[in-house]
């Protein structure tokens, strides 16, 4: 992928760290002939405990970086960043933005017990988008909210299988299960990388809801509306470049576990 505009559509993906790779995983399944630029702001990760204006400032820097790379659409693959900044972005830029929203609606619709759990960051719970979703789609169910403090760090530092992470998940998930929740919504893009550990704690009969596949489908629909789909123009899949404001080791490890064979030179450390 050269600096000048690619013949392929280029999709920008932004997250505070490696969590957005759970969205990238679904996006390249849905849009295999597009190029991607993934930007991880892991030098400032986690975002969950930061002030809103600080998050907005970091997101704007990331968006400006991606726009200079000639992306056609930007996926804010971070629930906390979406909650803090999506309104500001849509007000100040013309490029299409796709944000993350905890999948409360499908969980509420399909719950047999009338109880659902939501595991997210405190900043996401405070966001207008999340609370509007609750008001419109979850008024008939009981919603148990749990801030997943420490879980983003566990994913970022390769501690998903550690005893400490297991204990955190037990403390966070068991109250939901004991209250009768039959769906647990993952309200942070880092959390799908803990799905196996969550299933161990939650046991059988619990549906874990990951919004990433729906976000990928929505991105495809937006690109179709904008005339950016290129399925018939290419016979080979697109390429992803990975940029990080911090160390790239964990980004490489997870990306390669999802899609082996990515060249090491496609992982680039930057300062923004």
pLDDT at 49: 81
Distance (Å, whole) CA 21 – CA 28: 10
The helix/strand/coil state of 224 is helix
Q: What is the reported pLDDT for 236?
A: 85
What tens digit of pLDDT does each residue of 49-91 get? 889 999 999 999 999 999 999 999 999 999 999 999 999 999 9
CATH 3.40.50.1860 is right for the domain spanning 104-210 = yes
pLDDT of residue 149: 95
Low-confidence residues of the chain: pLDDT under 50: 1-6
CATH 3.40.50.150 fits domain 10-100+213-269: no
**Position of tokens 């760290």?**
17
The DSSP string of 256-271 is HHHSTT--GGGEEE--
Cα 55 to Cα 48: distance, rounded to the nearest angstrom: 9
pTM: 0.92
Closest by CA to 95, choosing from 208, 228, 191, is 228
Which residue in 78, 198, 216, 223 is the catalytic one?
A: 78
φ and ψ of 148, to 5 deg: -90, 55
Residues 177 and 119 sit within 8 Å (Cβ to Cβ): no
Contacts of residue 211, defined as CB under 8 A and 6 or more positions apart, other chains included, come to 100, 101, 102, 103, 185, 186
pLDDT number for residue 126: 87
What is residue 98's predicted lDDT score, i.e. its pLDDT?
97
**Catalytic status, residue 78:** yes
Give residue 35's pLDDT: 94
The pLDDT assigned to 161 comes to 95
Name the catalytic one among 73, 89, 169, 188.
Answer: 188
Q: Does residue 186 contact residue 119 with C-beta atoms inside 8 Å?
A: yes
Active site residue 45: no
Q: What's the burial of 160, exposed, middle or buried (CB within 10 Å: 0-12/13-18/19+)? A: middle
104-210 matches 10-100+213-269 in CATH topology: yes
CA distance 260 to 233: 25
**Domain layout of the chain by residue ranges:** 10-100+213-269, 104-210
């Amino acid at each position: 992928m050269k600096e000048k505009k690619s013949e392929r559509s280029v999709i920008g993906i932004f997250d505070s760290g490696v969590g957005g790779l759970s969205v990238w995983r679904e996006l390249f399944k849905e849009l295999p002939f597009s190029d991607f630029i993934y930007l991880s702001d892991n030098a400032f990760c986690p975002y969950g405990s930061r002030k809103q204006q600080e998050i907005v400032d970091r997101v704007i820097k990331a968006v400006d970086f991606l726009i200079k790379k000639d992306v056609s659409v930007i996926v804010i693959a971070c629930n906390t960043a979406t909650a803090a900044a999506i309104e500001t972005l849509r007000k100040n830029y013309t490029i299409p933005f796709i944000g993350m929203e905890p999948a409360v609606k499908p969980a509420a619709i399909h719950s047999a017990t009338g109880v659902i759990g939501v595991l997210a960051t405190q900043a996401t719970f405070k966001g207008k988008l999340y609370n509007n979703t609750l008001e419109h789609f979850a008024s008939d169910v009981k919603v148990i909210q749990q801030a997943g403090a420490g879980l983003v760090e566990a994913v970022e530092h390769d501690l998903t299988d550690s005893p400490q992470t297991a204990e955190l998940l037990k403390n966070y998930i068991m109250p939901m299960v004991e209250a009768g929740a039959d769906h647990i919504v993952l309200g942070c893009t880092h959390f799908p990388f803990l799905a196996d550990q969550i299933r161990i704690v939650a046991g059988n009969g619990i549906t874990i809801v990951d919004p990433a596949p729906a976000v990928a489908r929505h991105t495809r629909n937006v690109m179709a509306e904008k005339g950016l789909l290129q399925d018939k123009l290419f016979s080979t899949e697109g390429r992803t470049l990975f940029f990080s404001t911090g160390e790239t080791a964990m980004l490489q490890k997870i990306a390669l576990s999802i899609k082996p064979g990515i060249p090491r030179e496609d992982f680039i450390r930057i300062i923004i």
